[in-house]
């Protein structure tokens, strides 16, 4: 089945798409004007209002703050892991109220979602997640906010007055799609071949599910320097992640189908060990003038392909990646062109040709005495 293992190839359709922004309050603050409120946003690629989208109003986040006085001796820890929630149209601390000081300034660092215990270690110049397990927390969207330094009063950066809290995703997000490279071909002689494919199972293998990340504050005093690899430091043993194929129909056309729902994954480097493995049944039908008839069934064949490519060598922090797996139901070769304009080089089945040759005679010379 070597040819079958070569029958699948992959294309990275959408890489790095950032999440969406966060809106803050729906109404003007009805708390005292000196009470500290937050204006919350998820970050995509820039800092403009058009590139941010709404933060989940049902999700609380954690806030740290430091007071800076006229001298270093006046400095104090102002907020330490305070829970911030959306209450009465504003984002504010829920366990206690805080008010803007008359003098000095405040620095703020926030993370999401809120953890009363075992959350990230937050200091004035760093944020660290130690031994975080995506495997054990598959639906948790870890985020960190751009630092808001030197705050002396609420500002209106996005929508409402408050501490600008622009969140970035600390994990990566990966989604998967699948389609056939082709479903039917007609030969020059007029005979036709078509294929149907059932997907029995699909998984991605050798994926790390736990690791650690430390972000250091940039020289600008607001943004965070990510690791040069844009990935976490992995720990533990890699494992398999099963993908939900239960809703996939029998593939009979080149329509694109989503495989389950996108997943949060630990940002990590990709190599030859990270692979997608699927078990499929391929049915080949031939029409030589009397209609299509089942010709060949390749039952429960295992095929695999690498998740890394020249286009993507890692799952990076704050990246939303979508793979589209292109399954060639027979041994295929590249056409070198993209006729359908989908950004993927087309494939076509390889016709079975022959390479005839005749082994030369083995000449044997004998001197024999034959008795008659």
Task: Provide the CATH number for the domain around residue 165.
Answer: 2.60.40.2620
| The pLDDT of residue 22 is above 70 | no
pLDDT score recorded for residue 342: 63
Taking phi over 0 as left and psi of -120 to 50 as alpha, with beta for the rest, 136 belongs to: alpha
| The pLDDT of residue 17 is above 60 | no
Q: Is residue 114 in a domain? A: yes
Rounded mean pLDDT of the chain?
Answer: 84
Q: Is residue 29 in a domain? A: no
CA distance 127 to 112: 12
Rounded to an integer, the average pLDDT of 120-124 is 98
Same domain, 212 and 329: yes
Same domain, 110 and 150: yes
CA distances from 170 to 14, 70, 186, 294 (A): 19, 35, 49, 50
| pLDDT top residue among 132 and 28 | 132
Same domain, 11 and 159: no
pLDDT score recorded for residue 32: 40
Q: Is residue 21 in a domain? A: no
| pLDDT top residue among 54 and 339 | 54
Same domain, 212 and 341: yes
Q: How many CA atoms lie within 13 A of 114 on its CB side?
A: 20
Q: Token digits for 247?
A: 């809703």
pLDDT (tens digit, 9 = 90+) per residue, 91-120?
A: 999 999 999 999 999 999 999 999 999 999
Residue 286: pLDDT band by 50, 70, 90 thresholds? very high
Rounded to an integer, the average pLDDT of 74-90 is 95
What percent of the chain is helix, strand and coil (3-state, nearest 5)?
A: 5, 45, 50
Q: Please give the residue range of the domain that contains residue 159.
A: 37-170
| The pLDDT of residue 5 is above 80 | no
Residue 38: pLDDT band by 50, 70, 90 thresholds? confident
CB-based contacts of 67: which residues, under 8 Å, 6+ apart? 74, 75, 76, 77, 78, 101, 104, 105, 106
Same domain, 335 and 283: yes
Same domain, 66 and 8: no
Domain count, the chain: 2
**pTM of the prediction?**
0.82
Same domain, 205 and 320: yes
Same domain, 82 and 106: yes
Same domain, 334 and 189: yes
**Highest mean pLDDT out of 32-41, 270-279, 359-368:** 270-279
pLDDT (tens digit, 9 = 90+) per residue, 161-188?
A: 799 999 999 999 999 999 999 999 998 8
């Amino acid at each position: 089945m070597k040819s079958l293992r070569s029958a699948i190839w992959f294309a990275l359709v959408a890489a790095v798409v950032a999440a969406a922004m966060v809106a803050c309050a729906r109404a003007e603050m009805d708390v005292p004007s000196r009470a500290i409120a937050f204006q919350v946003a998820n970050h995509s690629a820039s800092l403009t209002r058009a590139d941010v989208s709404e933060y989940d109003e049902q999700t609380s986040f954690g806030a740290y703050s430091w007071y800076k006085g006229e001298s270093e001796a006046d400095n104090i820890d102002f907020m330490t892991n305070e829970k911030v929630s959306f209450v009465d149209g504003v984002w504010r601390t829920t366990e206690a109220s805080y008010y803007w000081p008359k003098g000095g300034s405040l620095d703020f660092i926030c993370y999401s979602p809120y953890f009363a215990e075992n959350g990230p270690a937050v200091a004035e110049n760093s944020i660290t997640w130690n031994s975080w397990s995506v495997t054990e927390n598959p639906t948790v969207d870890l985020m960190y906010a751009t630092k808001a330094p030197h705050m002396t009063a609420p500002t209106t950066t996005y929508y409402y007055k408050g501490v600008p809290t622009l969140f970035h995703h600390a994990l990566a997000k990966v989604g998967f799609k699948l389609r056939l490279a082709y479903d039917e071909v007609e030969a020059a002689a007029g005979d036709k071949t078509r294929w149907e494919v059932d997907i029995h199972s699909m998984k991605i293998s050798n994926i790390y599910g736990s690791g650690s990340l430390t972000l250091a504050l940039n020289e600008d005093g607001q943004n965070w320097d990510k690791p040069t690899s844009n990935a976490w430091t992995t720990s533990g043993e890699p494992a398999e992640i099963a993908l939900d194929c239960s809703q996939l129909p029998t593939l009979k056309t080149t329509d694109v189908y989503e495989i389950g729902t996108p997943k949060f994954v630990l940002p990590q480097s990709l190599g030859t060990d990270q692979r997608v493995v699927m078990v499929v049944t391929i049915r080949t039908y031939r029409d030589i003038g009397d209609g299509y008839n089942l010709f060949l069934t390749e039952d429960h064949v295992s095929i695999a392909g690498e998740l890394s490519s020249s286009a993507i060598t890692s799952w990076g922090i704050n990246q939303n990646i979508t793979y589209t797996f292109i399954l060639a139901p027979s041994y295929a070769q590249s056409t070198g062109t993209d006729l359908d304009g989908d950004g993927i080089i087309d494939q076509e089945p390889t016709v079975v040709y022959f390479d005839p040759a005749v082994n030369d005679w083995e000449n044997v010379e004998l001197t024999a005495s034959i008795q008659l």
